A and B are shown apart, each in its own frame.
Chain A
Amino acid sequence: MSETTIRSGYAKRTHTRILIIGGLFALLILLTGVAATLGSYSISVIEVFETILGGRGADSDISTIVWNYRLPRILMGILAGAALGLAGAMMQGILRNPLASPFTLGIASAASFGASLAIILGAGFAAGGSLIIGNAFLFTLIAAAAVYGLAQIRGITPETMIMAGIAIMYLFSALTSFLQYLGDSEDVNAVVFWMFGSLGRSTWETVSVVAILVGALFPLFLLSARSLNTLSAGDEAAKSLGVPVEQIRIGGMAGASLLTAGVICFTGTIGFIGLVAPHITRMILGGDHRFLLPGTAVVGALVLLGADSIGRTIMAPQILPVGIMTAFLGVPFFIFLFLSRRRNYW
């Protein structure tokens, strides 16, 4: 291979990856239009886009339905999918482990415990209607801090963080089971339903909060992409190449935990995206985090919005919780990619 082909090979790969991300993004916009047509009131895709481009406040049934009911749910699906995908990609990157996700590190089981505490005992950190949200958010951060604290005793390495995370996960799962054992059946039902994960509780306020969180953290994640790439060669090599390994690991953990907490406190636990969206993206785009991170955000959004759209229609008028649908939709696709790829993607 001559000099020009090393350079042009890189340029070609870069263009391909940008094109794929652009294509996935276009698909997401199309899916948004299709998702907004789903429901008992029939609206065409063209009408949906006209209504969205026409802005909020037009005095028509279509505008009310699209803006007030369907868009908050759809946007929450997009933002939650992007956030959980990013959180998973970050955790897999900083821990160099294909099984890492917000769930394997106990963060999500802590959120479930926080929500259970609010539902069953009415106890927690916030007042009134925000009790479940406040509890889920805070317990998520407490779990992240506990993982960090435990891991730090032996030094912040992927192994210590995963061991600490697994311990925390089992602890909070046991605590949640204990609360369910104490609770009456109505409360237990509510906890179980919360743990399925749902976009049904989305409002413009909750969408705004998640949008701010994703908007603030996504650029920081992108800035760390180069360090994450180098970290994949091991701590020692990364240090020697100038990467502040511990800061990246602690910052990445904090960022991923915040994103996860910010989403699942509103939606309940949606488990599958954080693990699998990064893998699907890695198989398509490769391991360079400069492309992997934005790609994962789009793929996470696509999978979550697609799952929710199918969940809303497949047994209509009954709506299946999105947490269940993500696995039904994502697992076959993931297995197909996994079996059909010749190359080692991890």
Chain B
Amino acid sequence: MVTIATDTVKFSYGSAPVLYNVTFRLETGAILALVGPNGSGKTTLIRCIDRILHPEGSILINEQNIHTMSRNDIATTIGYVPQNGTKIAAATVFDVVMMGRTPHMSWRLGDGDIDRIEYAIQLLGIEDLAERDYNELSGGQQQKVLIARAIAQDPKILLLDEPTNSLDIHHQLEALATISDISRSTGMTVVMAVHDLSIAARYADMLMMLKNGTIVAIGKPEELITPERIREVYNVDARILYDPEAGLIVAPLRAVPGVAL
């Protein structure tokens, strides 16, 4: 459905540069995992693609520059799942998922909106939480609610910032399988920042390794993930294993001493 193409994207927080000359192209329906150490620019890049931040350079969504799109056009095209942690006052899970309909709904919540909210809630398996207070949920449950909110938004592109960081391994697999299934069945393009390289390799078609705001490498996970590159990007010695079902597994061995972040 929708491609993403960036050209020499640069961004600084005040005088501290975070992204330099990020250029890549992602085809419709692909799943791209952004990996790299803390502070490498993964979250910043995601925020730039959603125009929450305003970088230099160009970001094209289906060949249209995002700077020429209205806020609502962006919201009907791009869904964003931030890292959880924000308290939401007096809102049930249903209320939070309903927020995903903001760019679509009129003042009244229409039947079509409710259909989509139900679909999202069921897809994430959080029916039992629908009337619970959002602030009372565990971090993992909140993370699922935020993913459901983005699914309710019915986006063509889904951006996720460490979507599995508060989930146990069962729910990690479930959530990523759900996102991957939707991408395969609807052609939704996905960009997600992830820390776990094995998870990234398993679910992503493409991997982008970032370090200090620049792209170190971009390509297929099995081509990119090598002990040499992991040492280059993370300063970690690692062994790469292969399991016929789980795929590529990165086993970190030791941190290379004396290297600052």
Residues of B within 8 A of A243 (CB): 71, 102
Does A232 interact with chain B (Cβ within 8 Å)? yes
B153 close to A9 (CB less than 8 A): no
B95 close to A287 (CB less than 8 A): yes
Known: A7-B118, A9-B131, A230-B99. A96 touches B50 (CB 8 A): no
B50 close to A346 (CB less than 8 A): no
Known: A1-B127, A6-B117. A232 touches B88 (CB 8 A): yes
Residues of A within 8 A of B75 (CB): 240-242
Q: B156: shortest Cβ distance to chain A, in Å?
A: 14
Q: Which 10 A-B pairs have the closest CB atoms?
A: A287-B90, A242-B75, A242-B103, A240-B80, A1-B127, A242-B72, A234-B86, A241-B102, A230-B102, A230-B99
8 Å CB contact of B91 from A7, A225, A227, A287: A287
A221-279 residues with Cβ-Cβ distance < 8 A to B are: 222-223, 225-227, 229-230, 232-234, 236-237, 239-244
A286 close to B92 (CB less than 8 A): yes
B94 close to A9 (CB less than 8 A): yes
Does B136 interact with chain A (Cβ within 8 Å)? yes
8 Å CB contact of A237 from B76, B99, B133: B99
Residues of B within 8 A of A240 (CB): 50, 52, 74-75, 78-80, 82
B contact set with A: CB distance below 8 Å: 47, 50-52, 71-72, 74-76, 78-80, 82, 86, 88-92, 94-96, 98-100, 102-103, 105, 107, 109, 114, 117-118, 121-122, 127-128, 130-131, 133, 135-136, 153
Does A61 interact with chain B (Cβ within 8 Å)? no
8 Å CB contact of A345 from B74, B90, B130: B90
Cβ-Cβ contact count across A and B, 8 Å cutoff = 106
A2 close to B127 (CB less than 8 A): yes
Q: A36: shortest Cβ distance to chain B, in Å?
A: 35
Does A290 interact with chain B (Cβ within 8 Å)? yes
B86 close to A237 (CB less than 8 A): yes
Residues of A within 8 A of B131 (CB): 9
Known: A6-B118, A232-B89. A226 touches B127 (CB 8 A): no
As a 0/1 sequence over residues 1 to 13 of chain A, the CB contacts with chain B under 8 angstroms (1 = contact) are 1110011011000
Does A282 interact with chain B (Cβ within 8 Å)? yes
Q: List 15 A-B contacts (CB under 8 A).
A: A6-B94, A6-B127, A9-B130, A10-B114, A226-B105, A229-B95, A233-B88, A236-B47, A239-B50, A239-B71, A240-B80, A241-B100, A242-B71, A243-B102, A287-B89
Residues of B within 8 A of A242 (CB): 71-72, 74-76, 102-103
A75-120 residues with Cβ-Cβ distance < 8 A to B are: 96, 98
Known: A239-B52, A240-B50, A241-B103. A1 touches B130 (CB 8 A): yes
| A187 CA to B190 CA, complexed, in Å | 69
8 Å CB contact of B89 from A230, A290, A346: A346
Residues of B within 8 A of A9 (CB): 94, 130-131
Does A344 interact with chain B (Cβ within 8 Å)? yes
Does A343 interact with chain B (Cβ within 8 Å)? yes
8 Å CB contact of B96 from A10, A233, A290, A346: A233
Closest B residue by C-beta to A242: B75
Residues of B within 8 A of A98 (CB): 89
Known: A6-B130, A232-B89. 10 other contacts (CB 8 A): A1-B127, A9-B94, A222-B107, A233-B86, A240-B74, A240-B80, A240-B82, A241-B75, A343-B133, A345-B89
Residues of A within 8 A of B94 (CB): 6, 9-10
Q: B234: shortest Cβ distance to chain A, in Å?
A: 27
Does A50 interact with chain B (Cβ within 8 Å)? no
| A233 CA to B95 CA, complexed, in Å | 10
B99 close to A244 (CB less than 8 A): no
A3 close to B82 (CB less than 8 A): no
Residues of A within 8 A of B153 (CB): 241
Closest A residue by C-beta to B117: A6
Closest B residue by C-beta to A9: B131
Does A159 interact with chain B (Cβ within 8 Å)? no
